[in-house]
């Protein structure tokens, strides 16, 4: 019998359940199934509302992206394009040699030499002026454009730089100053355009000693500059009575406007100090609105002019940067530019109260933008402003060449038709017709035809004689009704007419220029202070107890304007009659007597009819240094080669730009 088998060994088992396609994930799949279950538990209405909100969110995100992409495109295109087209401006030379000796430092410091902002050099084909051997003042030809970013300048009035400018709206063409933010505008460049070049003007010899009257102008300039330097250095305009400053654009407006004046007057120390401020402090990356017209004629014009006179490429670099930042103003349906543009964000807009621009503003930026294109080879500047010129030329609504004061930026049509003036909002339209024709080498016949037609329109509709002096004046026409009102601004016309005759236009224009010059002088002479009111009305009916010039209380202020002395300069330069110098000297004496502020500077005044209480307005406009004193200095010069009218044309802010030779 067999023994029983041994008991089986005890074994433990572990049961594992495998599920294909699933893994342990902290119950995430279960949560997903739970969310799906809850979604199915929602009512159809609830699900539709949620889907609608999600779709709305996606749509808003898409629209926001599109808007920002357009904004980036306006500010300069793709980064690749900006990187490809940025330029190193080494070796750029002005179209004309300097007409006066270059200001020089007493000690040349290599650390004070200007440089471009740090960036990678890139190749670019740039249109160059004729081969002129010129050096910028105190800048070595090899590395004269290097070091700008590192340049440190101890400038007067730096304590003001920390102050927050007061937000103000200045004049009818003013702009509101906003907090600073920066935006760069890369250049869009093209091959150099085919256009006339500026002639190689011979080097001006040392002008020699200045006469007593020119020294009087220099003394007045230095007194004005003393106030600006002490109380408002680097700010826009001086308030000489309160010893403070006012901001319009926040870009050192007076300093830049006066650069070429200092060069012409031979003020070497002052020029070099201002040049250092431009190099170290002038920065256009600011979230601020600027008026297209005012900033073009004052800032862009001054930078271009100073570049031509000094040969210093710093000013051309600044001009190009600023010009690029103004270009968004032209992005309108009609290509008629908006009045204002933010140079930091690239957002342009019309004035707050209207969608119109003024005709004078959109047609008085051409000299500057055309010259900027000629120097840089960037076509867009010239194309933008010449589109405006051609558009205005083709419009209906004119009256024998006279244009209304306003134009709509959307429709491109004149608005407020039937009102014609040579005063504010229309004046420089006529001036720039002639000056563009001269600038371009007298080849653009459309400009000449429009100018000649306009002069005939002025003679037919706006000229009258006053009583009892029988002075010819330029009035205004509103819906067929004549008004004997003449702005002091109209006193640009005698000089413009004389300039046209100098360049071959009918001699009868000079007869009208001489007559109107007498009238503008009387607008000053018949005032107790010897200074013209802002607006004059003329007596057209004989009354023994009335003068020719009548001034209303609201119009009797004087803003230190240049138009009378501007025309005196042209008339003396082209006739040689010294009475025009005497008249200008009298006006300078009146400025010294009634507008000079003891601590420094000159102030506009409220009442030109009171010698006891002229009532200072506590503001020195930038054009007093940029235009008024410059024209007085040139008026008192007997050297016709000092900024010869055969080689230079002055913009409407008295900044000389070269005349191009015919192609």
| pLDDT, tens digit (0-9, with 9 covering 90-100), for 374-403 | 999 999 999 999 999 999 999 999 999 999
CB-count exposure of residue 165 (10 Å: 0-12, 13-18, 19+): middle
Query: Which residue in 563, 621, 627, 653 is the catalytic one?
Result: 563
Q: Which of 355, 337, 336 is nearest to 292 (CA)?
A: 337
- What average pLDDT does the segment 261-265 reach? 98
563-575 and 493-502 helices cross at what angle (nearest 10)?
30
- What average pLDDT does the segment 562-568 reach? 98
Sheet holding 289-291, edge to edge: 289-291, 340-342, 348-349
In contact, 588 and 216? CB cutoff 8 Å = yes
User: What is the pLDDT, as a whole number, of residue 208?
Assistant: 61
- What average pLDDT does the segment 261-282 reach? 98
Q: Answer with the residue of higher pLDDT: 153 or 26.
A: 26
- Estimate to the nearest angstrom the gap between the alpha carbon of 287 and the chain centroid: 16
- What average pLDDT does the segment 408-436 reach? 97
CB-count exposure of residue 89 (10 Å: 0-12, 13-18, 19+): middle
pLDDT tops 80 at residue 527: yes
In contact, 368 and 428? CB cutoff 8 Å = no
Beta strands in 529-627 (DSSP E): 535-538, 549-550
List beta partners, residue 406.
358, 415
Which range, of 72-76, 166-170, 576-580, 603-607, averages the lowest pLDDT?
Answer: 166-170
Which range, of 126-130, 147-151, 360-364, 502-506, averages the lowest pLDDT?
Answer: 126-130
User: What is the pLDDT, as a whole number, of residue 562?
Assistant: 98
Q: What is the DSSP letter of 298?
A: I
364 CB neighbour count, 10 Å cutoff:
26
Mean pLDDT of the chain: 82
Residue 534 annotated among the catalytic residues of the structure: yes
Q: Answer with the residue of higher pLDDT: 191 or 637.
A: 637
pLDDT digits (tens, 9 = 90+) for 281-304: 999 999 999 999 999 999 999 999
- What average pLDDT does the segment 341-347 reach? 97
- What average pLDDT does the segment 602-609 reach? 98
What do you get for the CA distance between the two ends of the chain, in Å? 136
- What average pLDDT does the segment 528-553 reach? 94
Residue 368 annotated among the catalytic residues of the structure: no
- What average pLDDT does the segment 20-43 reach? 60
Residue bearing tokens 């898409």: 62
Query: Which residue in 247, 260, 270, 294 is the catalytic one?
Result: 294
Residue 566 annotated among the catalytic residues of the structure: no
Look up residue 432 and give its two tokens: 């720039």
pLDDT tops 80 at residue 422: yes
Query: Is-cis flag, bond preceding 468, omega within 30?
Result: yes
- What average pLDDT does the segment 309-314 reach? 98
Query: Which residue in 148, 320, 368, 427 is the catalytic one?
Result: 427
Q: Which helix (H) or strand (E) holds 70?
A: helix 44-74
Query: Which residue in 148, 371, 431, 534 is the catalytic one?
Result: 534
The radius of gyration of the chain's CA atoms, rounded to the nearest angstrom, is 33
pLDDT tops 70 at residue 540: yes
**pTM of the predicted structure, to 2 decimals:** 0.75
User: What is the pLDDT, as a whole number, of residue 513?
Assistant: 98
In contact, 206 and 219? CB cutoff 8 Å = no
Task: Please give the full DSSP string across 473-500, using - where no structure is assigned.
Answer: EE-EEETTEEE-EEEGGGGGHHHHHHHH
Residue 219 annotated among the catalytic residues of the structure: no
Look up residue 615 and give its two tokens: 């009532």
Residue 605: partners with Cβ closer than 8 Å, 6 or more residues away? 529, 531, 557, 558, 594, 595, 614, 615, 616, 617
- Estimate to the nearest angstrom the gap between the alpha carbon of 532 and the chain centroid: 26
pLDDT tops 70 at residue 577: yes
Q: What is the DSSP letter of 405?
A: S
Looking at domain 213-658, does it have CATH number 2.60.120.10?
no
- What average pLDDT does the segment 203-207 reach? 44
Identify the top-confidence range among 34-48, 190-204, 501-515.
Answer: 501-515
User: What is the pLDDT, as a whole number, of residue 440?
Assistant: 97
Q: What is the DSSP letter of 597?
A: -
Look up residue 491 and give its two tokens: 């006193």
d(CA 244, CA 252): 14
652 annotated to a ligand binding site: yes
């Amino acid at each position: 019998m067999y023994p029983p088998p041994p008991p089986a060994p005890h074994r433990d088992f572990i049961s594992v359940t495998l599920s294909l396609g699933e893994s342990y994930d902290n119950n995430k799949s279960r949560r997903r199934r739970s969310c799906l279950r809850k979604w199915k538990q929602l009512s159809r209405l609830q699900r539709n509302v949620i889907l609608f909100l999600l779709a709305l969110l996606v749509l808003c995100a898409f629209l926001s992206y599109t808007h920002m992409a357009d904004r980036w495109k306006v500010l300069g295109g793709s980064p690749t394009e900006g990187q490809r087209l940025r330029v190193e401006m080494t070796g750029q030379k002005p179209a004309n040699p300097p007409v006066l000796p270059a200001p020089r430092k007493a000690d040349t410091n290599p650390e004070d030499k200007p440089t471009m902002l740090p960036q990678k050099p890139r190749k670019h084909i740039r249109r160059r002026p004729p081969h002129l051997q010129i050096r910028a003042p105190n800048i070595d030809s090899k590395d004269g454009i290097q070091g700008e970013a590192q340049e440190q300048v101890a400038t007067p009035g730096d304590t003001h730089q920390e102050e927050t400018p007061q937000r103000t709206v200045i004049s009818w063409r003013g702009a509101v100053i906003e907090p600073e933010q920066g935006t760069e505008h890369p250049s869009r460049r093209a091959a150099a355009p085919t256009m006339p070049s500026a002639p190689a003007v011979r080097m001006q010899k040392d002008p020699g000693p200045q006469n007593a009257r020119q020294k009087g102008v220099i003394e007045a300039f230095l007194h004005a500059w003393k106030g600006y330097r002490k109380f408002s250095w680097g700010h826009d305009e001086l308030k000489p009575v309160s010893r403070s400053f006012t901001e319009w654009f926040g870009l050192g407006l007076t300093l830049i406007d006066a650069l070429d004046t200092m060069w012409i007057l031979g003020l070497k120390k002052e020029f070099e100090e201002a040049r250092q401020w431009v190099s170290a402090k002038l920065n256009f990356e600011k979230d601020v609105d600027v008026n297209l017209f005012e900033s073009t004629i004052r800032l862009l014009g001054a930078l271009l002019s100073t570049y031509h006179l000094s040969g210093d490429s710093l000013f051309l670099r600044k001009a190009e940067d600023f010009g690029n930042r103004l270009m968004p103003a032209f992005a309108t349906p009609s290509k008629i530019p908006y009045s204002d543009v933010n140079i930091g964000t690239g957002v342009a807009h019309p004035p707050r109260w209207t969608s119109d621009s003024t005709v004078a503003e959109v047609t008085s930026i051409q000299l500057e933008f055309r010259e900027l294109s000629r120097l840089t080879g960037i076509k867009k500047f010239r194309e933008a402003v010449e589109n405006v010129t051609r558009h205005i030329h083709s419009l209906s609504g004119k009256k024998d060449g006279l244009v209304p004061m306003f134009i709509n930026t959307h429709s491109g049509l004149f608005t407020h038709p039937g009102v014609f003036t040579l005063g504010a909002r229309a004046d420089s339209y006529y001036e720039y017709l002639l000056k563009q024709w001269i600038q371009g080498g007298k080849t653009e016949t459309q400009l000449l035809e429009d100018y000649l037609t306009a002069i005939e329109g002025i003679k037919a509709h706006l000229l009258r004689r006053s009583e009892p002096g029988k002075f010819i004046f330029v009035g205004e026409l509103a819906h067929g009704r004549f008004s004997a009102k003449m702005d002091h601004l109209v006193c640009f016309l005698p000089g413009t007419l004389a300039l046209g005759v100098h360049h071959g236009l009918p001699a009868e224009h000079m007869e009208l220029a001489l007559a109107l010059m007498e009238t503008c002088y009387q607008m000053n002479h018949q005032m107790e202070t010897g200074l013209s009111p802002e607006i004059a009305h003329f007596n057209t009916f004989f009354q023994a107890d009335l003068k020719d010039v009548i001034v209303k209380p609201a119009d009797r202020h004087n803003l230190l304007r240049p138009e009378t002395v501007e025309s005196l300069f042209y008339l003396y330069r082209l006739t040689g009659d010294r009475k025009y110098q005497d008249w200008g000297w009298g006006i300078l004496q009146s400025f010294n007597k009634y507008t000079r502020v003891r601590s420094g500077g000159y102030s506009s005044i409220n009442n030109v009819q009171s010698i006891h209480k002229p009532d200072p307005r506590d503001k020195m406009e930038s054009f007093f240094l940029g235009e008024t004193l410059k024209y007085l200095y040139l008026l008192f010069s007997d050297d016709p080669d000092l900024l010869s009218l055969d080689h230079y044309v002055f913009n409407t802010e008295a900044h000389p730009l070269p005349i191009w030779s015919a192609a």
